[in-house]
Structure formats: structure tokens, C-alpha cells
Amino acid sequence: MSRSTGGPLLARLRRRHGLTQSDLSQRSGLSVRTIRGLERGEILTPQIPTLQQLALALDLGPQAQTEFMHAWSTPRMPGFDELLVDPSLSEMEQIDALTRTVLGSYRVISQVWRTQVSADRRLVHTGCHSAIVAVEDGLDRVVNVQNGDGSVTAADLRFRPLMGCRLDSRRDFPESNVAVFEVGLPRPLAKGETHAYAYEIVDEGEGPTDSDGFVWGPPHTARSIVVSVDFAAPPREVTRIERRPGGDFLTVGEVQLDEANRASLVLEDAGPGAFGFAWSW
């Protein structure tokens, strides 16, 4: 799908909802100038949060969200090792360029995230189990963007495939404290084909640190998402947080740990956005 299909699709969806560009601007928080530029094809590669804000403002369902995101994807590109990214771009723009090659090419059916915090307060291990469905023929990779925080350096994070995937390559962005993993699938998937895979992220850094939170979210709506954090020693306070595209993190409420010192949440039709927990010691 060419990168020019996003603008006409946005215009059709806006008109279908009976909205003017000004109406959509108010709903999405984006400027009229931005919406006009997108529809006219003057903006060819909008940032992913911009597309997420539009998808929410247009009240798109899971399949429509995926098709909308895919309309803005670039043609399939070589792997990370072959892909040249303009070094003059900011790190966040480079990250967007890497992830755009698979934008909207698959839909998340379910994701289960489970992370462990050690007695020395380090976020030492995160496991992910995912089920996806291909939106186009030939889907052969997914992309995982892993953030560090004040206590975790993304360059120390190691990706270990467990089932149904392999690590093809990675790129680290030290200023943004982000690692981008190119995750290969065992074989190309046909459109509509489902696939399950699992992997873990392990922090191989040294020394005690005070972790302060964990969040995760799909690039567009997932049928279900589970996020849990297991604490070897309970923090003083745990709160649930979430962030919508383009917004700030919001505190949803205080969380009571279960008998195993675990905080967990289960969401249906979740995303786009980030969901998880913050804690203090």
C-alpha cells in the first residue's frame, strides 16, 4: 500500500462521521493546519501518536484502526541492518522511521506482559506472550520498542526469544534510552493468518537501582491486554497509570497487591496508549 493512501482515507472517514476539519481538530487536539496537510498529502509520514489521536477522535473499531494505521505505512523496507536512517534526524524520528515499516501490518489479538522486580528493587525480567493476525500478505516481522527509565539503561536490556520468533537485529538510542528490536517470525504470514509468539527482556545491568514503574500498550486497539508486576519486596505505594496518545500520564488510582505481592490489570479493547503501574519505595 503506497504512503499516499492515508490522506484520502482520513478525508473519507472524517466526512463519514459528518465532521469538518475544524470539528476533527477539536476532537483530536490537532491543529486544523495539520489535518489539512494530512488530507492533502503535504504530510506523508505523520508521527504515530498523531495517527493514534486521529483514530481515537474518529472512534474507529479495532479493524478500522489497523487499516487506518496501515494506510500510513511506508512500503516494506529492508531489515534494520540494511536500512539507512538519516542520522540528522532526532532519535525519536529515527525510531519512528524504523517502526513505520510494520505500522498497521498486523493486529494485536492479545498481549500478556509480566515483569518481575527483585529484592534490590531492579526491574530484572519482563515476559511477553502475544497473539496477532496479519493484515497483509507476507508479514514476516514485528517490532518491539523497549524503554529504559531512571533506573534501567535500555542498552543493558537483552531480548531472548521463547516461542515463535527470533531476534533479527536491534538498534539502541542512548539519548532517548530506547532499544528497538526487530523480531522475525518463523515464516511469512498470509493475510488473515494468526500467529502466537513469546519472548523475554532481561536487564543485564549491574548494581542496585530503584525502579519506579512499568507500562505497556499496543500501537492500536488490542482485544485484550494483561499487565502484571511481581515484587520480591512490596513497595510503599503502587498506583495504576495510563497515557492516551499525545497526552500525559494520568493516575487512575491506588492499587492493592495480592497475597503474592503482585499488581495486575486486565483490559478489553485496550489502546492505543500505555497502561501499567508506578510505585515508590
Query: Is residue 144, in this structure, part of any structural domain at all?
Result: yes
Asked whether residue 20 falls in the same domain as residue 123, the answer is: no
Per the listing, cell 537485529 goes with 169
Residue with cell 517490532: 143
One domain for residues 159 and 20: no
| CATH for 165 | 2.60.40
Reading the block at residue 139, the C-alpha cell is 508479514
3 state SS for 233-274: CCCCEEEEEEECCCCCCEEEEECCCCCCCEEEEEEEEECCCE
Last residue of a domain, one of 30, 56, 74: 74
CA distance 234 to 144: 29
Q: Record the cell numbers describing residue 91, joined without a space.
A: 532519535
Instruction: Answer with the one of 74, 90, 120 that is the final residue of a domain.
Output: 74
State the Cα–Cα distance between residues 31 and 164, nearest whole angstrom: 42
pTM of the model: 0.79
Q: C-alpha distances in angstroms, 243 versus 111, 121, 186, 211?
A: 18, 24, 33, 19
Say if residues 208 and 121 touch (Cβ distance below 8 Å). Answer: yes
Report whether 51 contacts 76 (CB < 8 A). no
Q: To which residue does cell 499488581 refer?
A: 263
Q: Is residue 88 part of a domain?
A: no
Rounded CA separation 202/204 (Å): 6
pLDDT tens string for the chain (281 positions)?
344 588 889 999 999 999 999 999 999 999 999 999 999 888 877 888 888 889 989 998 888 888 888 888 766 555 555 555 666 778 888 888 778 778 888 999 999 999 999 998 888 889 999 999 998 889 999 988 888 777 778 899 999 999 999 999 898 998 888 899 999 999 999 999 999 999 999 988 776 678 888 888 877 788 899 999 999 999 999 999 998 877 788 999 999 999 999 999 999 988 788 899 999 99
- Asked whether residue 171 falls in the same domain as residue 55, the answer is no
pLDDT value of residue 46 = 86
On the question of a cis peptide bond just before residue 272, with omega within 30 degrees of 0, the verdict is yes
One domain, residues 176 and 224: yes
Question: Do 119 and 7 share a structural domain?
Answer: no
Q: Domain total for the chain?
A: 2
Q: Residue 22: give the domain boundaries.
A: 3-74
Q: Which of these, 75, 73, 97, 68, lies nearest to 8 by C-alpha position? A: 68
